[in-house]
Structure 1
């Protein structure tokens, strides 16, 4: 399968600059999720917060009043130990490693022997291990992409359209695949998970920094409708130096792609500081409504800002989502729910919950 546009690394000497990748692995039988967040900031190394990080949001192994899941994260300050392909979805960053091995793709059977702390995504193989205090995560799995972004019968498309190939939007955003299948294993807090045909989602961002405020939701686990996936996001981005409020919704269902947003219809939304996401959209052929809620407090995660990584984002992977999709003046196409939606709000300052 062809990877979509913007799969490769975008840095070409810009400063300040960040690039971030998000990969969510969902185990359908249990509903448990592991969200891997990789980032690199100011790879030229000219600022005090230059470097990279990996964050993993996984199931809580202990009860905490302020989070649904647990976050394990590590900072890798050396930009010289980071590598990424300018053409493919491939990257890696070493923290602790054996010898003086340069940052480069490693054969999968050599990775754990050489890299004691770090990660790599190479040839659809995801590998890594990190430790933070008494918390530990180790993983190895392959991903088979099934649905990227756009009509499955055509070449994958840029999420923000053809204008995204010009330096107009900050930050840039690309769905790498709306659905894939993961095969492998993962060790989380002493628990061993082995899986086959786990659901996988991946996206990326790049630019000067994250928006000043935003919301996001994602789901690809609807037990009554295999293959159905939805991604939606909105917030304030910079277009040619000016702020713009914008939102987008994309739905894949039974081999069809339904897109709503700039150039593809109108969207209205009401998103609370936390707990409620209400979106409605339509174009000349279709309409969609998304109603998402959570009673949990979510988990704080870091995102890149102009001042470096900040704890300014709240996430849950256990959101309740009600989706309705229909044709204008015709019957409902699909109506369904899930309790494994990824829900997020972010910005500075982040409202307390």
Structure 2
């Protein structure tokens, strides 16, 4: 006797196949290019110049790294994860691999997963990359890692994006015209000042629920991270729509070095820009290895930032393209921001205990050079 499915069973099957198809489509890159297979991409250099977030290293074969930083915070703060996908090419080009780093901001545990460089591909049309079965874009993440010691899986969708705008015809990003200065060791970009997220990440049966959570995306690329830097970031203030990032670094260039900084504070739908190349002054006071106070002055306001590191995890960082350096990062640090007008009147005081903070290398020389 032949058994025919009921209409309800047919409907449920169609729904199942529909969502499976959506899941599969989400992992496909538009105009996908495999890093190891392409030669020349027409007009891609022009596209890179106006969009720092897309893959910049299509012509690089050695002495190079590129990585994107995706931070996710649960609605109640119970889960804090950062995912960092990227590539690493050694100084002689003999060691090449893709990677995914995972930082647990609650436990300070870090993990580093290495993949053959052949597994890395990127979209020549938009910001989207794949590493094996793992997909990253400004709109979604699909994670699928099985390495024998751990299993990581899940999907995150990102929406309500607040993108960084450079206020220029050519969107040079947060670095401004410094973006085009040659021979710099490291470049920086911000993809999303803040965004809303939904989804879950499962790490060895531990479920991290990010429904109604917050996200943030930035990136670095070049040959090496600076010898010394201070970096801090949060978009989890009492004012739920605010977001902040600041980076201060020793920047080597043509045999010399200088201290530069860049950052922003997003509040009330306005971006306050901080940068060496703008009319901005910065003073740095380092209390100890975990506490700093920063004063930033622009034409209209004064910003006082107090930051304190808590538990830290150890991350691999690039030196001449190779992940040979180890740095501490706290992503459950505390930050307090006070904004005053030029008369000293307090406009805003806000704080967070869910912040990223790195103090790396001889950061005391940053304080000295800014005096």
Q: TM-score, normalised by structure 2?
A: 0.76
1:323-346 C-alpha deviation (Å, 9 max, x unpaired): 111221253221011110111123
Change (3 A) 1:188 1:293: same
Change (3 A) 1:288 1:123: closer
Deviation at 1:281, TM superposition (A): 0.7
Question: 2:83 aligned with 1:32, yes or no?
Answer: no
Q: Distance in 2 between matches of 1:155 and 1:141?
A: 30
Alignment check: 8 A CA contact 1:73 1:130 kept: no
Change (3 A) 1:329 1:156: farther
The 5-angstrom pairing of residues 309-324 of structure 1 reads 309-324=323-338
Task: Look up the SS of the partner of 1:186 in the other structure.
Answer: strand
Question: 2:228 aligned with 1:189, yes or no?
Answer: no
Unaligned 5+ runs, structure 2: 1-47, 364-371
In structure 2, the residue matched to 1:99 is none
- CA-based RMSD: 2.8
Q: Distance in 1 between matches of 2:345 and 2:127?
A: 39
Alignment check: 8 A CA contact 1:91 1:120 kept: yes
In structure 2, the residue matched to 1:79 is 117
Aligned residues: 313
Q: TM-score, normalised by structure 1?
A: 0.80
Greater helix content: 2
Question: 2:329 aligned with 1:294, yes or no?
Answer: no
Question: 2:182 aligned with 1:144, yes or no?
Answer: no
Q: Which has the larger radius of gyration?
A: 2
Deviation at 1:246, TM superposition (A): 0.9
Deviation at 1:131, TM superposition (A): 4.1
In structure 2, the residue matched to 1:303 is 317
1:61-87 C-alpha deviation (Å, 9 max, x unpaired): xxxxxxx411122111x2222112345
Counterpart of 2:98 (choices 39, 52, 57) is 52
Counterpart of 2:293 (choices 278, 290, 305) is 278
In structure 2, the residue matched to 1:108 is none
Greater strand content: 1
Change (3 A) 1:247 1:190: same
Q: Distance in 2 between matches of 1:179 and 1:282?
A: 24
Counterpart of 2:343 (choices 318, 326, 329) is 329
Task: Look up the SS of the partner of 2:109 in the other structure.
Answer: strand
Counterpart of 2:64 (choices 17, 27, 34) is 17
Q: Distance in 2 between matches of 1:40 and 1:273?
A: 34
Q: Distance in 2 between matches of 1:290 and 1:254?
A: 18
1:281-336 C-alpha deviation (Å, 9 max, x unpaired): 1012111111111343x110111111610342111111111111122125322101
Alignment check: 8 A CA contact 1:312 1:346 kept: no
Unaligned 5+ runs, structure 1: 61-67, 95-114
Alignment check: 8 A CA contact 2:263 2:273 kept: yes
